Amino acid sequence: MTSILNRNHKRTLYRHEELSRIFSPQSIAVIGATTNPDAFGTRTFARLIQHYQGRTYAINPKYDRIGEHPCFSSVAALPEKPDLAVIALPLEAVEDAVMDCARIKVGGVLIYASGYAETGHEDRILMQGRLTSIAKDHQLRILGPNCLGFFNFSIRAGISFTRSDINIDAFRGKGVAIVSQSGAMAFSQSQGAFRGISMSHVIASGNACDIDVADIVAYLAEDPACQSIICIFEGLSAPDRFIEAGRIAWDNDKPLIACKLGIGEAGARAALSHSGSLAGSIEGWRAAFERAGIIMLNDLDGLLETASFFAKAPRRPTARGIAAIGISGGALVATADQAENYSIAMPQPTPQVLNKLVQRVPEFGSPRNPCDVTAMASRDVRMIPDCVEALASDKQYCTVLYPQTTLFGKTGQELRLISEACSKYGKIATTVWMSGWLGGHGVIEAESDSNMAVFYSLNRYFWAIREWFRRDDRRHDLANRKGNMPTRISSLQAREASARIIVTAGSSTLTEREAKTALACYGIPVISDHLVQTADDAIQTAILLGFPVVLKVMSPKLPHKTEADVVRLNLKTPQEVALAFSEIMTNAMRICAQDQINGILVQPMVPKGIEVMVGGKIDPLFGPMIVVGFGGILVELIKDTAVELAPLTKQDALHMLARLKGRALFDGFRGTPQVSTEKLAEIIVRLAEFISDQSELVEEFDVNPLICTGSSIIAVDALIVRTRPQRS
């Protein structure tokens, strides 16, 4: 489905009170109900009169009755002002019906009709725009058009023309809510209710001429029936509103799991800087979600499992270790492997707990963690729950995992006993369904259990556990951020001084010397250099600096000097300098004209150290972004990076460094000095200030590499790309 976004980008979010009449209506009118069983209005009316607990009215001037129910000629003829009017009419009749609803102050309308802005036709875009104007002028909330509808399971209200089988009795407490721009995606996910998942709502936003997914998330965040929220979307032209909705969900302790579709970067412009190519738009979403406490899934797999887990799990884990128990040694070995892969601790039980396990586990089993009770558990129905209870009593564990390998008639009963054993200590029971019989014995009982979370792969299980821990960490981080917003550490004169250098540069791609000078205004330590025009000058400069030295070309036409083979390192003699000068000039002139070469830079050779790349770019949706990774020539190959929105706090910068896979390099590797991450974090903060200050002048920049040797950190190369004029 083509997502059509709300054009009124700057308006504030609708909150629960403003949308409660439309999403939790006490009365519903179906405009366009007929006697035709296949008509959208008829399907909607039939579902409502069968299940809905509120008042339902049919509206169609052609009929006095539809079945046993009276039919009214217009919405104005109703005995009350309905909370919600469902407009099941052809496109040409929709606008008049919306105005009828606006005149009598209906709470809100749902529009099924398609053929609006999603067609791309100007006249249809204007038609949708008129609906937006009606919504604004008359304070009438509109869901749609081109909308499949919604279900509020807590009041058994199914307002949709879908033919899909939907379990109207899906709400059993601790409900999962699903919101999506695509109705098909939302309703397909909601069918998870048939395997026992508790659902509170499923809502499609359609073209979102008024209410969009951000509004719906904000509404659900304040709805008591909802305990976690899934949001599936393709794109948002005003992502700040969605991020704000995420903060509302955070403040209400409702985990928000977002799945952003369309993450490919194939159509993106080829960036000149490493940061431009590494920090694509999807990284912008990740960074924004990270800051707002939104959990991001890259694909649809595992959405329901993750959301159901977060709906059931305690809001804060009591510990950072897990225990596993089962009858299959192979399943437990696989569990331990994945725990290590995700860096999830599986500590050994305390002596007291170990003693309890020894008393219950056969001598050929393993009374450890993971705990292998062997197939002997089939002869003793209390063996597994007794061992689970012992493990749950251990304060090292926040949950007990039971890999479900083979199914039998009493699987549901066995899982219930495991759940009860964990609940005695306020801990959630978890199971990973390893049987190939996905819909077999016990699955509905397990999914329906309010204290048991079911997963269908170990990978998704440990991912969710890690996110549970990270969410708890975010709780601390975000609390600190509220009282610790980024405080400027660069001088007040840095902005203007750096801007002058950028504006007066001879090219939109600044030379290395210009870029380093612009960054030095912000207190970035940069390597000194000397520009020379002849080999003799290069030799004399090298003698003054002291060998060894580095030679590199200076030309705005050669931003990536290593790839152009115009850099020579560790030159130790005058002869080496002379040869390097000649080779560099020859290679440079193969690529650009001589008048495009400004000369050769001579720099001191910096001792080897850990190479770090710090860059930035201006994202079209999120504005200034900063990217940090291990640098040098392999930066884009390795892609071990962390991305954040700028500006940053020092704590933000330290967290970026901690997220790098190679972070252990900072602690000293094979005799190299330990890198001062405090000093490195300060430089990252200063560079984030640079890209924030110069967001109107700079499109992207790189410092690659920063060479870090102990407490000494220095930038030996830099690239700045000035903002290019927009094509008309």
Domains along the sequence of the chain with CATH? 16-310 (3.40.50.720), 316-481 (3.40.50.261), 485-525+608-728 (3.30.470.20), 528-605 (3.30.1490.20)
The band of 276, judged by pLDDT with boundaries at 50, 70 and 90, is very low
In this prediction, residue 131 has a pLDDT band, given cuts at 50, 70 and 90, of very high
Question: Is the pLDDT confidence value at 283 over 90?
Answer: no
Instruction: Convert the pLDDT of each residue in 633-688 to its tens digit.
Output: 666 666 788 999 999 999 899 999 998 988 888 998 777 789 999 999 999 999 99
pLDDT of residue 483 exceeding 90: no
| Amino acid 710: pLDDT | 82
Joined together, the tokens standing for residue 223 give: 């709805």
Q: Please tell me which residue, 413 or 199, carries the higher pLDDT value.
A: 199
Weakest mean pLDDT among 220-229, 358-367, 529-538, 627-636: 627-636
Neighbours of 479 (CB within 10 A): 10
Can you tell me whether residue 9 is helix, strand or coil? coil
pLDDT at 547 over 60: yes
With a pLDDT cut of 70, the percent of the chain lying above it is 94
Q: What is the pLDDT of residue 1?
A: 33
Residue 237 — φ and ψ, nearest 5°? -80, -15
As given in the structure block, the two tokens for residue 705 are: 């590499």
Pairwise CA distance, residues 227 & 637, whole Å: 41
- Each residue's pLDDT tens digit, 308-361: 999 999 999 999 999 999 999 999 999 999 999 999 999 999 999 999 999 999
pLDDT of residue 6: 42
Query: What pLDDT is stored for residue 711 in this prediction?
Result: 83
What does DSSP say about strands 599-604 and 549-554: parallel, antiparallel, or unpaired?
antiparallel
Residues 388-399: what's their mean pLDDT? 98
Judge whether residue 216 has pLDDT over 50: yes
Q: Is 428 exposed, middle or buried (0-12, 13-18, 19+ CB in 10 A)?
A: buried
Q: What percent of the chain has pLDDT over 90?
A: 78
- Record the pTM: 0.88
Q: What is the mean pLDDT of residues 687-699?
A: 97
| Over residues 122-147, mean pLDDT | 97
Q: What angle do CA 222, 312, 396 make, to 5 degrees?
A: 125
- Burial class (CB within 10 angstroms; exposed 0-12, middle 13-18, buried 19+) of 583: middle
Q: What pLDDT does residue 291 have? A: 85
pLDDT at 269 over 70: no
Q: What is the pLDDT of residue 274?
A: 41
For the residues 215-239, what does the mean pLDDT come to? Answer: 93
What is the rounded average pLDDT of the residues 693-701? 96
Closest CA to 717 of 519, 521, 581: 519
Q: What is the pLDDT of residue 485?
A: 63
Specify the 3-state DSSP secondary structure of 334: helix
Q: Do the Cβ atoms of 85 and 101 come closer than 8 Å?
A: yes
Distance CA 396, CA 403 (A): 20
7-37 residue pLDDT tens: 445 689 999 999 999 999 999 999 999 999 9
Interatomic CA distance for residues 297 and 286, integer angstroms: 10
Q: Mean pLDDT, to the nearest integer, of 122-144?
A: 97
Q: Are 176 and 227 in contact (CB under 8 A)?
A: yes
